[in-house]
Amino acid sequence: MLKVGDHRELQAAVLALKVMNRDLSKDIRRATVQTMNPVWREEVNSRARSETDRLIIAKGARIAGGNPPKAVAASSRRKLSGGLVPVESWAGFEFGSERDRIRSYRRRNRSGSGTHRVTRHTMRQLPARTPKGRVGYAAFAEVGPRMVSLWISLIVKKTHDAFEGK
C-alpha cells in the first residue's frame, strides 16, 4: 500500500495543505473527493466478480476526504441477510482462503456401534487465496498512482488559481 510517510513529495503536499488558507484547503479536499470518487468506484466495481463481492466490498467504496484522502471499500456496517457485517468480515472475501484445507476426524456410526474416520474439504465458501487482494487492493494497485498524481495536480492547480485571484 502507498504510505505518505514513505515519500517526501507526498509529505510536502500534506504539509502544504495544513498551512494554507482554510477555505482553499477545503476547496481542494472537496474537488479531490468529487473527481476521485467516480474513478475509485468504477475500478472497484469492475473487479467485483460476484454478487457477494459487490455486497461486501464494492458497496461501501468511496474516497474519504482528508489530508491525505483515503480510498475506502467494504465500509458498510449494515448486516447482510445471513448476519455478516462487511466492515468486520471483509478480509476473507478480499484475500480468500486456502480452499484445499482438509480436516479429518472420527465420528460415531449412525447405529452407535462403532466409529469411523471422516475427511472433509473445508473453507470452500470463500474464494481461493490471493495474498495481494482480489477486489479493493487490486483496484488500488491499479488506480492508486493515478489518484496520487491527480491529488498533487489539484493542489498545484488550486493554489496557482488562488495566487492568480481566480
- Per-residue pLDDT band for 1 (boundaries 50, 70, 90) equals low
Residue that the C-alpha cell 487492493 belongs to: 137
Residue that the C-alpha cell 473487479 belongs to: 47
**Res. 161: pLDDT tops 90:** no
Using one digit for the tens of pLDDT, what is the confidence trace for 81-93? 989 999 999 998 9
Contact predicate 18/67, CB 8 Å: yes
Domain range annotation of the chain: 8-159
Q: How confident is the model at residue 17, as a pLDDT?
A: 85
More confident residue, 57 or 65: 57
Cα 131 to its chain centre, rounded Å, is 14
Q: How confident is the model at residue 52, as a pLDDT?
A: 92
Element (H, E) at 105: strand 101-108
- The model carries a pTM of 0.77
Using one digit for the tens of pLDDT, what is the confidence trace for 108-144? 998 888 999 999 877 777 888 899 999 999 999 999 9
Query: What b/e readout covers 65-87, taking b as 16+ CB neighbours within 10 angstroms?
Result: beebbebebbebeeeeeeeeebe
Q: Which of 65, 16, 22 is nearest to 40 (CA)?
A: 65
